[in-house]
Copies of this chain bind each other. A is one copy, B any other.
């Protein structure tokens, strides 16, 4: 059998990393695959590797249409536009596709998997989630004999870097974000990352595979880290928690629940110590028990390594279904609104007047919510005083009702901020 002929569409950071891997004659990649064609926006940019030996295409769709390209690696990005057309063109003619594009797979994964099944080309996307960490393969193949009940991950390196930096340097969200943008760790328009959408794309993919359900991005409840303040980070620390942007999916009797939101993790939570740009995934599956996977979540090397693993799977005939099983076997999970119970963190900004604490406590008591801990900021910086508290286990609904009542108090000067408290592994806290 001849070598699989590969075309790369997109030569940015990850594409550059993949070029370097192909340029290494000792790399295992070259034993069974051969890079033959490339496409990018700018042909002349210096990528540290000579691309003159590969066929060049200005248009990635044209590359994808070449009959002698057996595998198209899509590293363009974006859920629509040229990335989608490139992948569709390749799959339509029965070629294989390896993609690092989480938005594309999360939003159009079902249609693309259909095309893959109909035409016979495989669709792989290990690099779309968790950078160099083999989360997709672990869920598709290693947990295959198990029943997964929950996944929880730190899936966005930019948010994790910002939260880690805020904690260690004591600088504000805005300061750290601006720095991250200068250093190239965050996009000029950071909304995809800090708004939680990138993590939600990844969670959509992982949940689909873990729970054998059709990917359903629209169903992820998404909250970003924009409202997390230094006060929250410090107060949470005093209470024994670290704030992380947590992406969680659970398979329940009501269907699949998916959340991306900032949460307080107890210091001994398996995800609490995942710092900086690391990514991690915790899987709860029976009878395997809890599994944790940690590694670099982004960057040229790690992501290219995941693309390479997919390419070798293709070359060695190991590639299976896009989501681990045939589309026809994936359930269409009902979108029930989950009945959420747990412990919650509340931060309130209040006027420094007698009776404030009594008024707040009263609103909680009215909803039968017990307070677990209560902290007042030692040195307030303005006219409003921050108060934080954590509740004992209670329904989320009760917290929402209490918060609405507090907001009506004239001593509460801005909308209270609520985050869930996570005490154990991937399982949802249900009291």
Cβ of A301: which chain B residues have Cβ within 8 Å of it? 286-289
Complex Cα distance, B270 from A146, in Å, reads 27
- Are B291 and A292 closer than 8 Å at their CB atoms? no
The answer, yes or no, to whether A357 is at the interface (CB within 8 Å) is no
Cβ of A273: which chain B residues have Cβ within 8 Å of it? 273
Cβ of A120: which chain B residues have Cβ within 8 Å of it? none
Question: Given A137-B142, A145-B29, A145-B309, does the pair A291, B295 have CB atoms closer than 8 Å?
Answer: yes
Which of A's residues lie within 8 Å of B, judged by CB?
17, 20-21, 26-29, 126, 132-134, 137-138, 141-147, 270, 273, 285-296, 299-302, 304-309, 311-313, 316-318, 320
- Are B288 and A305 closer than 8 Å at their CB atoms? yes
Complex Cα distance, B20 from A33, in Å, reads 42
Q: Which single residue of chain B is at the shortest CB-CB distance from A273?
A: B273
User: What are 16 A-B contacts defined by CB distance under 8 Å?
Assistant: A134-B142, A137-B141, A141-B309, A141-B318, A144-B308, A145-B307, A145-B311, A146-B305, A146-B308, A288-B306, A289-B296, A291-B294, A293-B294, A294-B294, A317-B317, A318-B320
User: Distance (Å) between the CB of A331 and the closest chain B CB?
Assistant: 13
Complex Cα distance, B309 from A144, in Å, reads 6
- Are B302 and A287 closer than 8 Å at their CB atoms? yes
- Are B320 and A316 closer than 8 Å at their CB atoms? yes
| Majority-rule SS of A interface residues | mixed
Q: Which single residue of chain B is at the shortest CB-CB distance from A146?
A: B305
Complex Cα distance, B317 from A29, in Å, reads 21
Complex Cα distance, B143 from A309, in Å, reads 7
Q: Which single residue of chain B is at the shortest CB-CB distance from A296?
A: B289
- Are A270 and B294 closer than 8 Å at their CB atoms? yes
Give me 20 other A-B pairs in contact (C-beta within 8 A), A20-B287, A293-B293, A318-B318 excluded: A17-B287, A21-B287, A28-B144, A137-B141, A138-B138, A142-B309, A144-B312, A145-B304, A145-B307, A286-B301, A287-B302, A287-B304, A288-B296, A288-B305, A289-B296, A289-B302, A290-B296, A292-B292, A292-B295, A293-B294
Cβ of A20: which chain B residues have Cβ within 8 Å of it? 287
- Are A145 and B21 closer than 8 Å at their CB atoms? yes
Q: Which single residue of chain B is at the shortest CB-CB distance from A136?
A: B142
Complex Cα distance, B296 from A146, in Å, reads 14
- Are A145 and B295 closer than 8 Å at their CB atoms? no
Cβ of A132: which chain B residues have Cβ within 8 Å of it? 287-289, 291
Cβ of A304: which chain B residues have Cβ within 8 Å of it? 145, 287
Among A133, A145, A307, A320, the one with the most B-chain Cβ atoms within 10 Å of its Cβ is A145
Q: Which single residue of chain B is at the shortest CB-CB distance from A145?
A: B308
Cβ of A317: which chain B residues have Cβ within 8 Å of it? 317
Cβ of A133: which chain B residues have Cβ within 8 Å of it? 291
Question: Contact check: which of B141, B300, B318 meets A312 at CB < 8 Å?
Answer: B141
User: Distance (Å) between the CB of A276 and the closest chain B CB?
Assistant: 12
Cβ of A305: which chain B residues have Cβ within 8 Å of it? 143, 145-146, 285, 287-289
9 closest A-B pairs (Cβ-Cβ)? A145-B308, A287-B301, A134-B142, A288-B305, A289-B296, A132-B288, A292-B294, A291-B295, A144-B312
Cβ of A293: which chain B residues have Cβ within 8 Å of it? 291-294
Cβ of A318: which chain B residues have Cβ within 8 Å of it? 141, 318, 320
Cβ of A287: which chain B residues have Cβ within 8 Å of it? 17, 20-21, 132, 300-302, 304-305
Complex Cα distance, B298 from A287, in Å, reads 11
Cβ of A289: which chain B residues have Cβ within 8 Å of it? 132, 295-296, 299, 301-302, 305
Cβ of A307: which chain B residues have Cβ within 8 Å of it? 145
Cβ of A299: which chain B residues have Cβ within 8 Å of it? 289
Cβ of A17: which chain B residues have Cβ within 8 Å of it? 287
Complex Cα distance, B145 from A306, in Å, reads 8
Complex Cα distance, B21 from A95, in Å, reads 37
User: Distance (Å) between the CB of A267 and the closest chain B CB?
Assistant: 10
Complex Cα distance, B60 from A18, in Å, reads 48
Q: Which single residue of chain B is at the shortest CB-CB distance from A280?
A: B292
- Are A27 and B296 closer than 8 Å at their CB atoms? no
Complex Cα distance, B52 from A251, in Å, reads 34
